[in-house]
Structure 1
Amino acid sequence: MPNETTKTPPFADPGEAFPAELSRQIKDRFLHVDHDFMGRERLFFENAGGSLRLKAAVEAVAKVDSVPDSAERIHEVAAWLKQVQERGVDDVRLLLNAQGGTVHASLTASGAMFEMVRAVAENVPGDNIVTTVLEHPSSYDAAAHYAQKLGKELRVAPSNRATGGIDVEEIVKRVDERTCVLVVIYASNISGAKLDLEEVVRRARTKKPGLYVIVDAVQHAPHGLIDLQKTPVDGINIAPYKFFGCRGSGFSWLSDRAAVLPHHRLAGKPAGFWDLGSAAPWQFAVMTEIVNYVCWIGGRFSDAQDRRALFVRGMERIGLHERALLARLLEGSAAAPGLRHIPGVKVLLDHDDLPRRDLIIAIAIDGLDYTQAVREYEKRGVIVYERIASSIYSGRMLNSLGLDGAVRVSPLHCYTFGDVDRFLQVTREIRAAVAA
């Protein structure tokens, strides 16, 4: 493994970082980017598990949730709360580019995933359910549970150990005219590998026209654009806390036909209504602040007036910046060798096709187990996390990839090249200390 980095990264598309002044403004819109809540300096490179939050999102919760009124009443404040909810629903649709269907607010995205899978599995004909080995437990376990309960075959697409993802063909060849539902993740939370969802949906429905498809987009949503006009699925979920928002909230969208399948609802509500109990208006206010923020970034690179167009541009620029951070992490610069070039550090599931990767890297450090490595990073003011085979959240995925574990590194676009260089320096320090 060479000690010197190349001046030109070997990537066809290495991305493009934000201008320095915009990066400064972006950082200022988030809480606890450079320091934890006790004021200690740190890098929070664990956004795949935790979440950096927008100040505006937290402020929206405080403002809206402090209002005691019910949005279901007829007085003026109730009408304002209703408008907050309606605006949030519109912004969920905008984020997904969804038309028709139903927006469902829930306590967690995981809970909504179980409900969506149940509704399809119990009510749509078919003797098999197709999913992948890289699913989050909320989607994999939902598919497995209802397959067992209903006597259906569970067909699981294997991972690609070179890319860390799932090949389209491995999914499609498991679909046939008897498939009840396809449950698939948008991107791996271990490797960052993105699935070609547009191709998956298109090809799977050539095998079975009208196939129901449910997608877990929780991990991918803050990193890349979602467009349901290009990927016409029947159910998709996101977790606002992973998308610069707050915990205690999940949002899903269901197609018109999926929404009216039998599901838990109050008898007096419309057939396609999915919310149970009184809505929490702050959930919707947070979604609006998330979309506002992405549109604000888009407005720095576009003169468009259409809100969706601004959102699209904002997500595109977030993706380009994160790709540039990924390239810097891998190859480094004159300031610091990249992970590929630090002796004793191995980048797992590594490949050069960066557009197929979200900003997640799995690494191993010689001489340290994964938990020890995480502790060493923490001592030096860097938060990352171990993914180990004994965990219910990663064991199945790691085993499929031939790994016993990994240190997962998952920054967000609010970080800069300087922050990446600091992380690389810390990594070198940890490896040097182990080797000494």
Structure 2
Amino acid sequence: MAANSMHPRGLAFSDALMREVKERFLHVDRDHHGRERLYFDNAGGSFRLKAAAERFAAVDAVPDNTERIHATAVELQQIQARGADDLRTVLNAEGGSVYASLTASGAMFDMVRAVAENVPGTNMVTTVLEHPSAFDAMSLYAQRCGRELRVAQSNRETGGVDVDAIVRLVDQDTSLLNVIHASNISGAKLDLAEIVRRARAIKPDLYILVDAVQHAPHGLIDLQQAPVDGINLAPYKFFGCRGSGLAWLSERAARLPHHKLAGKKADFWDLGSAAPWQFAVFSEIVDYVCWLGGHFSDATERRARFEAGIAHIELHERALLAALLEGCGGAAGLRGIPGVKVFLDHPDLTKRDLIIGIGFDRIDCTRAVVEYGLRGVTVYERVASSIYSKRMLESFGLAGTVRVSPLHCHSLDDMAKFLRVTREIAELER
């Protein structure tokens, strides 16, 4: 709350802390070939913590099977248990089941299937801004189960979906509500706590699933304030490693029939041999955020340290967002560069994660991305021909956008460099 009310334009890290933060990540200022680069596509990939990459290699190199009784197997079991606890720490969740899968998308399909196939109702509700892993899962199982799929539309001013637009679709016959925590195109954050409160006021036993892949690295998640039944994360977008998806399910959701070995407990979701590195890497992520929180809080309890760390990540990223929009380091901001249009430019930065969509008067999005690349900047074009963008862009009335998504390990100087490059591209001839 204080992060939102006291610093509406954010609060950047000190120069000393900024240096420390950058040092903990791989390839921030130079790519893996040593070439200078600004990587501003963290909504599609993400910088890796050095500690996460090192821990992955160390734990994955251990040959032992976790389902044994010798000392190394027990050590691996402890790594898994700590990682599962750390997922609950990040979510502020109690009990329930942790599901480690290959991808967050796979976990979402599995959670949607379990609810859709086993919870009665005549309709399922989602939003137009969902990632395909959520939207397509809802579409598939609504069709298979003979349900109406109700889709809440976006708000073209905020770039999000209004609470009213969602809850008006919920009724006593809704079997499942599935919502994204923040848009991966506009950066708009949905008011999850209010959505849950009002939807459950209509149907108290409503099952609710959440895609938190985009939002998790940028802001606090609190399932005590928004008690949902399932939520997924992608550690590789959270400073971790690829090949890992983590999900948490409430006790009642975890016990719904799902794919599992017959001999396992009713609430067990993993299939096949565990990969302890997934849990080890996630603990490194939480360790890092807690380390950052220690610069701003004397708290010793892990959740409190994590809260402090993620709050200041949010504040720093909001300062970066403000700098991109309004200018910094003598460079004009995106709002002030002739020939540049900022899409979905909602003025309340507290309601946005660090994502900006822009367009150019003189060149299209694809050429703009190429021109950025020629100047050592990596961004991404979101165009209507892409399955990952079409539905969302059309809801906003856009044909395409250049998505700009830095991370908190970037500095204000990095924003100034980007703005100078953007001005140069805006002045190109057709």
Q: Does residue 112 of the first structure (1) align with residue 113 of the second (2)?
A: no
Structure 2 CA distance for aligned equivalents of residues 268 and 77 of structure 1: 24
1:223 to 189, 199, 218: 218
Q: Does residue 264 of the first structure (1) align with residue 234 of the second (2)?
A: no
Mapping of residues 367-378 of structure 1, within 5 Å: 367-378=362-373
**Contact 2:233/2:246 (8 A) holds in 1:** yes
For residue 363 of structure 2, what is the amino acid of its counterpart? Answer: L
Deviation at 1:76, TM superposition (A): 1.1
2:316 to 315, 318, 321: 321
1:61 corresponds to which residue? 56
2:274 corresponds to which residue? 279
Share of identical aligned residues, percent?
68
TM-score normalized by structure 2? 0.98
Deviation at 1:334, TM superposition (A): 5.4
Secondary structure of the residue aligned to 2:248 is: strand
Deviation at 1:333, TM superposition (A): 3.0
Which aligned runs of 4 or more in structure 1 are off by greater than 3 angstroms? Answer: none
1:211 to 206, 213, 221: 206
Deviation at 1:394, TM superposition (A): 0.5
**Contact 2:329/2:416 (8 A) holds in 1:** no
1:52 corresponds to which residue? 47
Give the count of matched residue pairs: 425
For residue 142 of structure 1, what is the amino acid of its counterpart? Answer: A
**Contact 1:191/1:362 (8 A) holds in 2:** yes
Q: 1:12 to 1:286 in 2, by over 3 A?
A: closer
2:284 to 289, 307, 319: 289
**Contact 1:12/1:353 (8 A) holds in 2:** no
Structure 2 CA distance for aligned equivalents of residues 219 and 262 of structure 1: 28
Structure 2 CA distance for aligned equivalents of residues 299 and 24 of structure 1: 16
1:8 corresponds to which residue? none
Secondary structure of the residue aligned to 1:180 is: strand
Mapping of residues 232-271 of structure 1, within 5 Å: 232-271=227-266
For residue 107 of structure 2, what is the amino acid of its counterpart? Answer: A
TM-score normalized by structure 1? 0.97
Mapping of residues 16-415 of structure 1, within 5 Å: 16-333=11-328, 335-415=330-410
Structure 2 CA distance for aligned equivalents of residues 77 and 151 of structure 1: 49
Deviation at 1:79, TM superposition (A): 1.1
**Contact 1:105/1:252 (8 A) holds in 2:** yes
Cα displacement string for residues 357-378 of structure 1 (whole angstroms, at most 9, x for unaligned residues) = 0000000011111110000000
Secondary structure of the residue aligned to 1:241 is: helix
Secondary structure of the residue aligned to 1:131 is: strand
**Contact 1:322/1:359 (8 A) holds in 2:** yes
- Please, what is the CA RMSD of the aligned residues? 0.9
Secondary structure of the residue aligned to 1:355 is: helix
For residue 393 of structure 2, what is the amino acid of its counterpart? Answer: L
Deviation at 1:77, TM superposition (A): 1.0
Q: Give ranges in structure 1 of 5+ residues lacking alignment.
A: 1-10
Structure 2 CA distance for aligned equivalents of residues 386 and 276 of structure 1: 36
For residue 83 of structure 1, what is the amino acid of its counterpart? Answer: Q
Structure 1 CA distance for aligned equivalents of residues 7 and 313 of structure 2: 18
Q: Give ranges in structure 2 of 5+ residues lacking alignment.
A: 1-5
Secondary structure of the residue aligned to 2:134 is: helix
Structure 1 CA distance for aligned equivalents of residues 237 and 249 of structure 2: 20
Cα displacement string for residues 221-264 of structure 1 (whole angstroms, at most 9, x for unaligned residues) = 00000011001000000000000000000000000000000000
1:7 corresponds to which residue? none
